[in-house]
Amino acid sequence: MANIKSAIKRARQNVKRNAHKSTQRSAARTAVKSVESAVEAKDKDLAKGAFKNAESALDNMASKKVIHKNKAARIKSRLNKKVKTL
């Protein structure tokens, strides 16, 4: 355990931040999976709507630096390619 006051505070903050980021990551993964399941079901309208939600979630995470912006762009690109093949 940390002995210095600032290190103790930093450890406390890291626990809170990690919990918050985990929920955001989970929500984005769920959004991505919903697009993939819609594509698998060959439902174009549902896939497009789910893609919009996933795109928004990924952009939001990238802007808050939960994930890297290039990772968000890569995921969006792959999802868009799957949606367009329908």
Answer whether CATH 1.20.58.110 is correct for domain 5-84.
yes
What's the confidence (pLDDT) of residue 6? 96
Domains of the chain by residue range = 5-84
Q: What is the pLDDT of residues 1-47, one digit of tens each?
A: 789 999 999 999 999 999 999 999 999 999 999 999 999 999 999 99
Separation in Å, CA 18 to CA 14, 43, 75 = 6, 35, 22
Question: Residue 65 pLDDT more than 80?
Answer: yes
Residue 2 has what DSSP assignment? -
Mean pLDDT of 65-69: 95
Distance from C-alpha of 40 to C-alpha of 73, rounded to nearest angstrom: 22
What's the confidence (pLDDT) of residue 2? 87
What's the confidence (pLDDT) of residue 84? 96
